[in-house]
Amino acid sequence: MERITSAALFGERVKAFKKRNRPVVTNCFFVPAEVEDMVRQGKLYVEETESTFCIQVRETYYSRLFYYMKDGAPLPALSGWKQPVILDTVFRGDETAALEKCGVSCWCAHGFVPYKRYRRMECQGEHFLPPEDQQSKLAEYPIVQMKAKDYPAVAALWESSLDIYSTLLPGAEEFAQYCEKQQVIGVRMPDGTAGAVIMVIPKGKTGFMQHLVVSPRLRGLGMGRTLFCGATEYLLTEGGAEKVNFWVDEENIHAIAIYQKMGYIYDGIISRQFLLREK
């Protein structure tokens, strides 16, 4: 595969491919800033044929597949691909129609199988309802900014508690950058270790939360709920957001019920993932 070294060149190649093969089917939803970050980090690779333009984003534990292709085109061999591979489709509305529109069935015939299904939840600032005991819980579990030096411990927490195939976890360099922007907060225990962590990313009027995790030995104490609520308040106040959203595995029924009590609702956006693993 060919590693992409320029975001501008990537954009030109996508544009040229789409022009030659109109109409195309795709699952690609990159914004320019994402492409620039992936190029800078050396993650972005492509494999192009006359009728397919496959994009591989190489993460620490897996790779992500995005594509543009002519409808009905034969699929490439995906030679040199880092596996496992996640194919992600994001849509609103009828799932069957959305998957058909972006040509997922041909990839399933190629060996991909259904994996995770995430829903996006959202809370408008005026609808946010913190639990009655939030202030007393904050006194018990103060929320602080995480530091770059916390990365090994935080990464270990993420790896032990989150699905490393379907979750886009930052590396050490990215983590340090998020910490510098004060976008990683958590609860630090008396021994200095991180008991719980979440990432909070303000983007204009919308705040995003991701990668909430609580140490297995500290679960059931209300720490995760307290941090989640504190992260929401942080984005709505210091982050300047008018609404906050995040992705949740739809099988996580217990957590979803807690989020809904705080005023979160589904916003209609779904992420449907498929997985290709080495046999």
- Give 77's pLDDT tier (boundaries 50, 70, 90): confident
Q: Decide if 277 is inside a domain.
A: no
The answer to whether residues 252 and 162 touch, using CB atoms and an 8 Å cutoff, is no
Inform me whether the pLDDT recorded for 279 exceeds 70: no
Total of domains in the chain: 2
The answer to whether residues 62 and 82 touch, using CB atoms and an 8 Å cutoff, is yes
Tokens linked to 216: 């297995």
Q: Decide if 141 is inside a domain.
A: yes
Please tell me the distance from the alpha carbon of residue 276 to that of residue 216, in angstroms, as a whole number: 29
The answer to whether residues 240 and 220 touch, using CB atoms and an 8 Å cutoff, is no
Q: Decide if 228 is inside a domain.
A: yes
Rounded alpha-carbon distances, angstroms, from residue 109 to 53, 117, 228: 18, 19, 40
Q: Decide if 217 is inside a domain.
A: yes
The answer to whether residues 34 and 28 touch, using CB atoms and an 8 Å cutoff, is no
- Which amino acid, 175? F
Strand, coil or helix: 108:
helix
Q: Shortest CA distance to 129 belongs to which of 259, 273, 234?
A: 259
Where residue 149 sits, what CATH number does that domain have? 3.40.630.30
User: Are residues 200 and 257 both part of a single domain?
Assistant: yes
Region 72-81 average pLDDT: 78
User: Are residues 62 and 138 both part of a single domain?
Assistant: no
Determine which of 110-114, 148-152, 196-200 has the lowest per-residue pLDDT on average.
110-114
Q: Look up the pTM and report it.
A: 0.90
Q: Decide if 14 is inside a domain.
A: yes
Please tell me the distance from the alpha carbon of residue 44 to that of residue 270, in angstroms, as a whole number: 24
The answer to whether residues 55 and 65 touch, using CB atoms and an 8 Å cutoff, is yes
Rounded alpha-carbon distances, angstroms, from residue 228 to 97, 137, 157, 244: 34, 12, 16, 11
Tokens 């009655």: give the residue.
132
Strand, coil or helix: 260:
helix
Tokens linked to 32: 């320019």
pLDDT at 83: 83
**What are the residues facing 145 on neighbouring strands?**
185
What's the domain range around 128?
A: 123-270
Q: Decide if 276 is inside a domain.
A: no
Ramachandran assignment for 160, one of left (phi > 0), alpha (psi -120 to 50 degrees), beta (any other): alpha
- Give 79's pLDDT tier (boundaries 50, 70, 90): low
Choosing from 96, 118, 140, the residue where a domain stops is 118
User: Are residues 76 and 180 both part of a single domain?
Assistant: no
What one-character-per-residue DSSP string does 51-103 give?
SEEEEEEE-SS-EEEEEEEETTPPPP--TT--SSEEEEEEEES-HHHHHHHTT
User: Are residues 164 and 261 both part of a single domain?
Assistant: yes
